[in-house]
Structure 1
């Protein structure tokens, strides 16, 4: 069931109320606020929940998180790598307006995004039956950073309210019940993706996955992908190997790397919250191999979309005894 759009004038008091809260408060000499997130959408997933999504601004490298507002009230704080959220415990048949702003490490806040308005549908009787899976899925790349997906309509005893798109087991997009096609953006150039679609009803019952569809984005001729860690070095010392590299410019902080030794993955290097390197990163790998052993080492970064990026340059080292 699709709700009616609330009047545009309902947003005016909200915009005025929030304007006073948007003064940037720079710290450490940085007083330039980030740009506002774009492409905000709000889709009712059930009578009591709404799925909110947005695009990171172009200057997202310095962003540390996002704030989500529901009709003028702050309801969620999210890290920089999250650009969607489910808002729950809402009232059925009620109009809501959502907005998002970005924040950086210096405490600066962006302006609010353009608002997204949505009305939750009416509540249904108790329902535990999931919709059928979408019967077919097709997809094609639309340039280096987007994919167009289409699927067959699912059925449900109380009616489908939304379709959720998954990539690598993670929900990356939500479309309305009236849509059987959507465009997924924010992809990496020259990368293979596998997508599935699930239907959801007004009680948040989800169907099984529909058939998977593979899409490979083309390379970007105007801007080569820079997903590989740069300036990679490896230095051996007794019982250890010290690695340093420059974090790739993916638009988001990169806190996870996969290390290969002699062309085999040996460990995943993870940096905790607050310790993610913005430029140069370092890691010490302990070893019990005898002196004189030869290793080749390389690593790659986990990208914001969950895929692994390109490998760094490979380094050949002679272990110390």
Structure 2
């Protein structure tokens, strides 16, 4: 020690003793071994601000002296730094010595900087696991090597845990399938991931002829499945799901995964989506007509040079286009009204088939700078000529050049039937004489018909049920006449019972049978004191 300057750093001017192992050799350790009863100095410059990760706050402060506050006139080197820190936080007000014990301990305090030089290095810490967007007050105490000498609580600073501004990570809807309950579809998806839970899922559905309004979901759920009800059987719907987190920002992911499903009653056959590709073909006998659209890939047909009748007939098929993705067929200089092209399926339906809707995509061009063109897509079938089932009308704006999509049915809920042995067909026609072009035959000139097919399933003929008498014992006998299916399918009978006077809203299915059956009482819901109303319903065997 030289005057007021310690050249070694071993002398503590506050306690006027050594507090370093160099002064005490290797004696057994106790806090009295250090003769240290003085707590570290108070931290006066604690700072807090939002962290860089969601739900975090970043703290910083200057390490205090190990043994209280140094005298104002002291100019020597500092002794060892503090041994460690304890950090606590709370909401609603500053952290003080009075509320220290009731404040929450922050996990993972930093290792203390062992500062032997007069070095104003800053101590930092990130507090994790906070509620994003909530403000917290923080306080810090330092302690020395005795582990019992704690400084007063620091100045208390507040900061807001970083708000979650990131949308959930979500892959979207994975499946949409008919629930085989009338008017219902089941949706399923995998969980989304996010920093701020719980996740809410926004569920959307509209008929396929409409566009999903992403601002107005039809339902919300926290589950990863949803049962949609109240739909129209036989009508194809678009379904989608988005994920929203619990952040104050209400972040919603922007996936555009859309699935299509068609609700149907349990007695119906399955509905399947099919895609048919319009191609150029010539010389195929369709019965009542022969295909006559002969074009090589990237070939052009000059409509104005064709003799009357100009209308072309060609094929569509299920196994893709003939031309490559960058090629196309083109009919140009189409300047007369009436039929342009009819695409006919290259095979007949083995059974009568219901069409529950669909769409047709085709690349069209309006060559006029000043006039629109009205075009018509006719959905139908081929039976010694084209038979129309539905018509979709579209107006091409002037100078239009791009894909045009037609939707069927034009009246929601309409189901069309293509008879057994006939071919599905789609026809393009137009009004007026403004020049236009038709591109088709590849992905570049898309000519794709998507339809939802269902092998027709006719209902069984009506049958009668003998109303059961009130039971005298535990059994109820039910009899019915045999039902007949017009297609000759095996018949099954579903028998229902209820305790609500016959209201099938609360019905219970007792079983499924192929013949008359005597039913035993189901204790617990039929009950010996309340006669049950029994009903039988017939369904065909699928």
TM-score norm. by structure 2 comes to: 0.18
Q: Which of structures 1 and 2 has the larger relative contact order (alpha carbons within 8 angstroms, sep 6+)?
A: 1
Select the structure that is richer in strand.
Answer: 1
Which protein shows a greater Rg? Answer: 2
